Structure 1
Amino acid sequence: MLSPLVSLPQGLLIKVFCLFGADTMRDVGLLLLILTIPNVADAGECRAPDGQAGKAGEPGITGRDGRPGARGDTGDPGATSGTSDVPKKRGPPGDPGSPGKHGSKGHIGQTGPIGETGPYGPQGQKGHSGQGGGLRGRERPAFSAVISTGRRPSYGPIITFDRIITNEGACFDHVTGKFLTCKAGWYYFTYNIATGGKLCIKIMKNNVKEAGFCDVAATTNSQSNYQINSGGVVLRLKKQDQVYLEMVSEYNNIYGSDDVNSVFSGFLLFPDQ
């Protein structure tokens, strides 16, 4: 059975094999024969029919962006439109931008040197006279009384006076020699009493001694040399308080004349509120 096949040309023998297939070749000797045939033709001459096309695969995940490309070359300058001799007009200004934020406060600088004093300005005009709203009359008491004669007006311990120089508010009585406080406040009292011998004077307030002064005049050839016994004091007085001068017994030599006067004075410094 093999000999007829062996005598066939190789090309025809291969076609016979392809036609029947290996499954139909029951004769094992035939299969061995074909395998031992030299220079067997390419398998393309015995090609199976094409299979069906498969389904398209699903799209893959989008890949990452590539690296930036290299910077391109600078282009040529554009052509100038219009004539160069024609002056160009400035366009309208744009809208102002929004104000910027305030910067942080800077440090305080060092104090500069003091400048030179400038010249005085012109003198201003004189103001109008005031309305005289200060204290008046008994609201601002002040007095001065004198002894102008060699004879004292009285012979008691309280010194009295024969003439009034000033008596603002009429608070001093020269007959009794007493100042009667007509407005409470701080007062200043002073006296200058001439003497030709021994003299001691006390400044009294409501029968109480506030201050005392003594003096003795020197004598020459049985003639007296007159001198001044002086004193003063500041007192705070209530309304109706009394202030006066009083002599010490046996030291009561007072002198007064037209040329040599003995004076007692007092006035309000400032009132109580």
Structure 2
Amino acid sequence: MSRLWLLLLPLLLSSHAPAAAGAQEEPGVAECPGQRCGCAGGGAAGIPGLHGQLGAAGRDGRDGRDGSIGPPGPKGDVGNSAVDGAKGEPGFPGRTGMHGELGRPGQPGMKGDPGDCATMPKSAFTAKLSAPRPASGSPIKFDVILTNSGNHYDPSTGKFTCVHPGAYYFVMHACVYLAGVYANLKKNGEVVNRYHSAWVNGWNGVAVSGGSVLSLKAGDQVWLEVQDANNGIFVRSDIDSSFSGFLLSPE
């Protein structure tokens, strides 16, 4: 490159030297500094010009068409599970372990002997009168027995004697005819309830009835008794008067 400048330097100096005094330019001939001008009969070549500035970027071109899908590649080799993280094959199930000694159910025991069934004590009676208008001042003797479980009622005395302690229900039913009735239920000689029915003259007959629940201990006695000798308790072949009692619940 330096040798090229040495060759061009004399030419440059000669082309830029001032014209001789009195010299005149040929009419119609223009100067062409720095280059060989064809119109002047050929001069020396000028210095190369500088590179011009970059032009503006051109517009984007259109998108090309999608290419066709290529054929699938060959299947790769199975990687190492320890390196590649692939899931390994499942292992064989282990054997069932033995039961531990603690917590093991024992052998069933032998069946026991049947126990004794609890038995409900029984005590109940119903008795009727065989004759009307019983005597006053003493227990009414209901002497026709219908039921007498345990024989706790005595028809010869008209008294019930408790054998099984508990709650008992006693009830009286009597036909009333020709006179009123005042009947008392007594426990060990004390009046615990009173039953009354008045006689209405001209009526064929009325009835009196009533009941009581008593708590009895073993040995307690219960009976019915009328206050007046002229009482209207009546019986006939087709009419009954009765006294009943039974154990509700034992203690």
Residue 231 of structure 1: aligned partner: 210
User: Do the aligned partners of residues 95 and 81 (structure 1) sit closer, same or farther apart at CA in structure 2, a change above 3 Å counting?
Assistant: closer
Is the aligned partner of 1:172 residue 2:162?
A: no
User: Do the aligned partners of residues 80 and 183 (structure 1) sit closer, same or farther apart at CA in structure 2, a change above 3 Å counting?
Assistant: closer
Calculate the TM-score normalised by the size of structure 2: 0.52
Residue 267 of structure 1: aligned partner: 246
Could you say what the CA RMSD is over the residues aligned between the two structures, in angstroms? 3.0
Residue 186 of structure 2: aligned partner: 204
Q: How high is the sequence identity, in percent, across the aligned residues?
A: 34
Counterpart-to-counterpart distance in 2, 1:219 and 1:133: 57
8 A contact 1:189–1:233 mirrored in 2: yes
Is the aligned partner of 1:248 residue 2:230?
A: no
* Matched positions, count: 148
Counterpart-to-counterpart distance in 2, 1:143 and 1:178: 11
Alignment of 1:133-144 (within 5 A): 133=117, 135=119, 139-144=121-126
Counterpart-to-counterpart distance in 1, 2:148 and 2:130: 17
Alignment of 1:1-273 (within 5 A): 79-80=74-75, 94-95=89-90, 133=117, 135=119, 139-150=121-132, 152=134, 156-196=137-177, 197-220=179-202, 225-250=204-229, 252-272=231-251
User: Do the aligned partners of residues 134 and 265 (structure 1) sit closer, same or farther apart at CA in structure 2, a change above 3 Å counting?
Assistant: farther
Structure 2: where are the runs of 5+ without partners?
1-71, 78-86, 92-115
User: Do the aligned partners of residues 247 and 179 (structure 1) sit closer, same or farther apart at CA in structure 2, a change above 3 Å counting?
Assistant: same
Deviations along 1:177-208, one digit per CA (max 9) or x if unpaired, are 10000100000000101121111011100111
Structure 1: where are the runs of 5+ without partners?
1-76, 83-91, 97-131
| Aligned partner letter, 1:162 | D
Structure 1's consecutive aligned runs of 4 or more residues displaced over 2 angstroms after TM superposition are 77-82, 132-136, 148-152, 154-157, 249-253
